[in-house]
């Protein structure tokens, strides 16, 4: 991962909420359509385990997606992600409602994005990640860019980054 700010690990250690986009972050961004018109998505199993480990470390995980998808809902249920917002045009407004409901400041929140609709949210959180194959505007808005692409383990990389920062902060105290 490359870092764009001097203290991302410090911010990562105190992150309490991780917000994820879906298409291009949890998936590779491609949509597969079956003969009956259903959209299929492919999720990386290591991302799922990383999200479960993060939740076990008391970090709330949420999904805010511009698209509606039964596949996304199903995957989030499998992973125990309770905060799922689909078909959202204004991701920043949805984020503020969520974080206020959780009683969190923006600085205690992180997000992972990949494209222009994610940029306003990325600029608002304490720690913004972009996946390796993100649009240049999303990469510019990120504090940290993953080495892996969306749908190919980038979310696990973010989870490991956050968990390692927490472990180091705990060991230092």
Give the pLDDT of residue 172: 78
Question: Are 146 and 158 within 8 A, CB to CB?
Answer: yes
pLDDT tens, residue order, the chain (173 aa): 544 444 777 888 899 999 999 999 999 999 888 888 777 899 999 999 999 999 999 999 999 999 999 999 999 999 999 999 999 999 999 999 999 999 999 999 999 999 999 999 999 999 999 999 999 999 999 999 999 999 999 999 999 999 999 988 888 77
Total domains in the fold of the chain: 1
Give the pLDDT of residue 113: 98
The two structure tokens encoding residue 9 = 């690990």
Whole-prediction pTM: 0.93
Please state, in angstroms and rounded to a whole number, the distance separating the CA atoms of residues 136 and 52. Answer: 30
Give the pLDDT of residue 5: 45
Please state, in angstroms and rounded to a whole number, the distance separating the CA atoms of residues 64 and 107. Answer: 18
Give the pLDDT of residue 39: 77
**Residue 84 lies in domain:** 2-172
Give the pLDDT of residue 150: 98
Give the pLDDT of residue 170: 81
**Domain containing residue 56: CATH number:** 3.40.50.1000
């Amino acid at each position: 991962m490359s870092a764009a700010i001097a203290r991302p690990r410090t911010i990562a250690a105190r992150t309490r909420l991780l917000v994820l986009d879906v298409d291009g972050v949890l998936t590779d961004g491609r949509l597969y359509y079956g003969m009956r018109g259903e959209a299929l998505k492919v999720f990386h199993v290591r991302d799922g385990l990383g999200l479960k480990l993060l939740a076990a470390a008391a970090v709330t995980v949420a999904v805010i997606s511009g698209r509606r998808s039964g596949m996304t809902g199903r995957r989030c249920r499998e992973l125990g992600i309770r905060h799922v917002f689909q078909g959202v045009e204004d991701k920043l407004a949805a984020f503020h409602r969520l974080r206020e409901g959780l009683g969190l400041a923006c600085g205690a929140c992180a997000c992972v994005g990949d494209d222009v609709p994610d940029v306003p949210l990325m600029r608002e959180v304490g720690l913004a990640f972009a996946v390796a194959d993100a649009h240049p505007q999303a990469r510019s808005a990120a504090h940290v860019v993953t080495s892996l692409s969306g749908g190919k383990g980038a979310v696990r990389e973010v989870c490991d980054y956050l968990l390692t920062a927490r472990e180091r902060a705990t060991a230092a105290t």
